[in-house]
Amino acid sequence: MSDLEQTCASLRAQIAATEEQLAGLKRELQIAEEAAAKSKAQAVADDEAASGRRWPLLDEEYRRYGRQMIVPQLGIQGQLKLRSAKVLIVGAGGLGCPAALYLAGAGVGTLGLVDGDAVESSNLHRQVLHRTKNVGKLKVDSAIEYLQELNSHPKYIAHREHLSPEAAPDIFSNYDLILDCTDNPATRYLISDTAVLLGKPLVSASALRTEGQLMVLNNPPRPTGDKTGGPCYRCVFPKPPPANTVTSCADGGILGPVVGTMGVLQALEAIKVLTAEETNTPIPPSLHIFSAYSTPLFRTIKLRSRRPNCAVCSAEASVTVDTVRSGSTDYVFFCGTADPENLLLPEERITPLEYRTKHGGGEEKEPTIIDVREKVQFDICSLENSVNIPMSTILASTFSLPTNEDSSADELPALPSWVPSDVASSQSTDPVYVVCRLGNDSQIAVKKLKELGLDREGQRVVADIRGGFRAWKEQIDPEWPEY
């Protein structure tokens, strides 16, 4: 055993050393890329100066951008503004890919991308900069590879990391405009706070299932306490949504054209902000809501100006660059975390392998398996003889305890209609197992079933299958569809 422990310790040390070396190589690569980009830009400037050019753009740029330069709202002056602009895109996923694609195509001079994730095959139906051959590659590298093929004129800067409070101010300071293309509340508040504190306009969007939202925030970017500035994310959403109500694309699903539409609109709003003429009349802030299966497709809601008690952009601001950078503004704590792993006791959970060992012999009656995924997921794949009761149905239901006057001692509470009859029967003590996609919703459902008294005060096993169908695939059925 000691030899194995030494081997494990040695491997951990090697991994730590390799990770440290990799981090160093990434830093060196970023420095080299920035130096190469500066060298390229200087070479172009030197060539233009040496040639004594009469026109501000290269011949190839006139040909490339001509169709947009003849649009009256843009013109040559707008194109020159785009050429000198520096835009940071936080997130190289479903929103960031189309936004980067169109900003690069439009000729934005510098595009920075922040993302620490690698490309997965599940990304490819909507994240249009990534290709099958780049699965496993860092998203920022995959995206920049495509963008350079599209347009070699812009300077592309890769920030190969997840945005952190410590790094955000330093990264943002080098850009003129920020695009929030992320998918979690904590990062959204971090991006908005940092943009406001550094005086950067922000284009924020989100998308889930068939719907999306878009806002241009902190536009115009005014100092803290200046009421003429555009509202920030905290002005619109002073309090984050409860952590257990936040649904990701992985859990809720997303149609590619929906998130693509929102990303393209982010690029459009970015171009409008970058090329806008200076005016004393700011554009009224608005929230644009897109719904793919509604008529009309878009609705627009006017937003109020800055909140007088906003923690970031008002005269009473408590959030500063120092509180962000130091971590004293704790975004994870502010937004909360949903941690369903601790909802149930160990004896209330069973692994797929344990379930198969206990109930796979066929000598006894099969237990009831309740699948709490939504029907659209249940239709993709399901266990034989399982019962589909969507989690949304369970959460929307109510029940009442019987009173002493109108019930006997052996009666159960008035059960919701979704409870299967064999489970509801007061004579049954057959086990009930709940399963979902990842093993999160199933724990909530188990607690709900026990609140209904269906565990018969401990006489019946009511448990969840730990890890859901992802664990089922790993432990029981390798051919189980992964979606």
- Please state, in angstroms and as integers, the Cα–Cα distance from residue 130 to each residue in 142, 267, 292, 420, following that order: 6, 18, 24, 45
Q: Which of 430, 434, 478, 437 is nearest to 456 (CA)?
A: 430
315 and 174, same domain (yes or no): yes
Give me the active site residues, please.
249, 436
Instruction: Judge whether 15 lies within some domain.
Output: no
d(CA 123, CA 101): 16
d(CA 238, CA 192): 12
420 and 320, same domain (yes or no): no
- Give per-residue pLDDT as tens, 268-293: 999 999 999 865 556 789 999 999 99
- Please state, in angstroms and as integers, the Cα–Cα distance from residue 22 to each residue in 156, 170, 322, 362, following that order: 21, 22, 30, 52
* Residues 6 or more apart whose Cβ sits within 8 Å of residue 462: 348, 431, 432, 434, 446, 449, 450, 454, 455
311 and 377, same domain (yes or no): no
Q: pLDDT at residue 92 above 70?
A: yes
Tell me what the mean pLDDT of segment 129-153 comes to.
98
- Is 371 among the annotated ligand-binding positions? no
Tell me what the mean pLDDT of segment 431-446 comes to.
95
Q: Cα torsion at 117, 120, 122, 123 (round to 10°)?
A: 50
Complete edge-to-edge strand list for the sheet that includes strand 298-302: 155-159, 110-114, 86-90, 177-180, 202-208, 211-217, 286-291, 298-302
Q: pLDDT at residue 159 above 80?
A: yes
Instruction: Judge whether 444 lies within some domain.
Output: yes
Which sign does the torsion angle of CA 140, 117, 127, 214 carry? negative
Tell me what the mean pLDDT of segment 154-175 comes to.
98
356 and 311, same domain (yes or no): no
355 and 305, same domain (yes or no): no
Instruction: Judge whether 263 lies within some domain.
Output: yes
Instruction: Judge whether 318 lies within some domain.
Output: yes
Counting every residue, how long is the chain?
Answer: 483
CB count within 10 Å of CB 433 equals 22
Task: Tell me which of 241-245, 339-343, 348-352, 454-458 is least confident.
Answer: 339-343
- Is 183 among the annotated ligand-binding positions? yes
Specify the pLDDT at position 223: 94
Instruction: Give the structural domain span for 106.
Output: 85-326
Say if residues 117 and 139 touch (Cβ distance below 8 Å). yes
179 and 302, same domain (yes or no): yes
294 and 374, same domain (yes or no): no
pLDDT > 70 fraction of the chain, expressed in percent and rounded: 90
Residue type present at position 341: E
Instruction: Judge whether 42 lies within some domain.
Output: no
d(CA 23, CA 107): 31
- Give per-residue pLDDT as tens, 386-432: 999 999 999 998 765 555 554 444 445 579 999 999 899 888 889 99
Helix (H, G, I), strand (E, B) or coil at 204: strand
Instruction: Judge whether 33 lies within some domain.
Output: no
237 and 284, same domain (yes or no): yes
Residue type present at position 395: L
96 and 175, same domain (yes or no): yes
- Is 124 among the annotated ligand-binding positions? yes
316 and 255, same domain (yes or no): yes
Specify the pLDDT at position 409: 45
- Give per-residue pLDDT as tens, 226-262: 999 999 999 999 999 988 778 888 888 999 999 999 9
Instruction: Judge whether 76 lies within some domain.
Output: no
Q: What is the pTM of this model?
A: 0.82
- Is 410 among the annotated ligand-binding positions? no
365 and 441, same domain (yes or no): yes
Tell me what the mean pLDDT of segment 155-169 comes to.
98
Q: Which of 452, 434, 453 is nearest to 444 (CA)?
A: 434
Residue type present at position 278: E
Q: pLDDT at residue 29 above 60?
A: yes
Distance, C-alpha 160 to centroid of its chain: 17
DSSP string, 416-482: -TTS-HHHH-TT----EEEE-SSSSHHHHHHHHHHHTTTTGGGTS-EEEETTHHHHHHHHT-TTS--
Q: Name the domain count of the chain.
A: 2
Instruction: Judge whether 66 lies within some domain.
Output: no
**CATH at residue 376:** 3.40.250.10
Specify the pLDDT at position 228: 92
**CATH at residue 98:** 3.40.50.720
275 and 423, same domain (yes or no): no
Question: Distance from first CA to last CA of the chain, Å, rounded?
Answer: 40
- Is 101 among the annotated ligand-binding positions? no
